[in-house]
Amino acid sequence: MDEKTTATEKCSFFKKKGSFAARRRRNESGDESDENESVIVRKDKKEALNPMKQSTTRIKRPRPEVSTVSDGDSDSESISVSYKSKKVAERVGPRDMGATAEYELDTLADRDARAIFEKSLELNKELKGKEEDKVYRGLANYQQFYEKRDTAQGSAASASVRKGPIRAPTNIRSTVRWDYQPDICKDFKETGFCGFGDSCKFMHDRSDYKFGWQLEREATIGGGDERSYEIEDSDEESHLPFKCFICRESFRDPIVTKCQHYFCEQCALTEYRKNTRCYVCNVQTGGVFNPAKQLMAKLEKQKLKRPENGDESD
């Protein structure tokens, strides 16, 4: 019996596939059970493009493919600006080359105060002697029973006398700058020297100026010393300053540096303790300060002239 049974048995190396019908029934039963269950579905929000928001995990979107086919239709669609000749021998632009161009920055001529006033006059003429139709025509177009004649406002001949702002001329283009700023170099006015030299943006002028109210007061009251505002000019001594650049006062024992800058002796020594360079041009002085003989002679001449001027006034 054992030999027969072993002979009849067969060895199977492959697994037998199941039937599809059973598998389909399982899926249908699973779908029925899923329909009864409640499931939370989260929709992905589309993020708007924000240039202020940046991240490293950004999804790269596919770029639109550029067609390489050089067809006539595709070329015409890709070109957004095209130029075409008018085939005219005349030059482009106005014939007078802009000589009669008008100034178009102000209010349009059909909307300004003059046009509104002229429109109201025409409406009054049309509605004169008619019954009131109870139609609102605007704030400026109320019916006026008092007709204005021989007045600046009612005169139709003159365009300059109108109600409201005067219409500006269109043939004049002017640029006006009201300058109330006295752009005078303070260093040059007080000391006679400026470190910027000719490249200074302010005016190098040492004359004194008066305000308008001072001039009016002198004109009404009278008087005023005219000589006090006179500055004598001399070619030899014009380059010499008349006040110290550090203390902004008259010189006391003036000295000169190697770079030809003049200071008071005490001011130069106190400044040298802080910084060994020149106060004006920042050049190394090396502690060398020479007596300003030329400036001393100028100051002595001024002292001699002062009593003479005092005697003449007496």
Say what the pLDDT of residue 194 is: 92
What's the CATH number for 238-314? 3.30.40.10
Phi then psi for residue 91, to 5 deg, are -75, 155
pLDDT in tens, 8-53: 555 555 566 655 555 655 555 555 555 566 777 777 777 777 878 7
Residues forming a β-bridge with 290: 256
- The overall average pLDDT reported for the chain is 73
Task: Identify the pLDDT of residue 200.
Answer: 92
Residue 305, pLDDT > 70, answer yes
DSSP string, 232-297: ---TTTTTS-SS-TTT-S--SSEEE-TT--EEEHHHHHHHHHH-SB-TTT--B-TT--EE-HHHHH
> Contact, 243 vs 249, CB < 8 A?
yes
- Degrees, nearest 5: CA angle 71-74-78: 140
pLDDT for 116-125, tens place per residue?
Answer: 888 888 888 8
**Do residues 143 and 137 touch, judged by C-beta distance below 8 A?**
no
Beta bridge partners of 284: 277
Please determine, for residue 201, whether its predicted confidence score (pLDDT) is greater than 70. Answer: yes
Q: Is residue 287 left, alpha or beta, with left meaning phi > 0 and alpha meaning psi from -120 to 50?
A: left
Span 158-187, mean pLDDT? 71
Residue, of 246 and 163, whose pLDDT is higher: 246
Burial class (CB in 10 A: 0-12, 13-18, 19+), 289: middle
Higher-pLDDT residue of 238 and 86 is 86
Buried-state track 197-209, b at ≥16 Cβ within 10 A, e below 16: eeeeeeebeeeee
173 pLDDT higher than 80: no
Q: What number of helices (H) and strands (E) belong to the chain? A: 8, 3
Q: Where are the domains of the chain?
A: 99-176, 179-207, 238-314
Q: 63 or 201, which is more confident?
A: 201
Q: Would the pLDDT of 5 be above 80?
A: no
Give Dmax (Cα) for the chain.
169
Report d(CA 225, CA 310) in Å as an integer.
13
pLDDT of residue 299: 82
Residue 245 has pLDDT above 70, yes or no: yes
What is d(CA 283, CA 258) in angstroms, rounded to the nearest whole number? 9
pLDDT of residue 196: 92
pLDDT above 50 for 216: yes
Write down the pLDDT at residue 150.
47
What is the rounded distance in angstroms from the CA atom of residue 106 to the CA atom of residue 168? Answer: 8
**Rounded CA gap, 205 and 192, in Å?**
9
Distance CA 243, CA 252 (A): 9
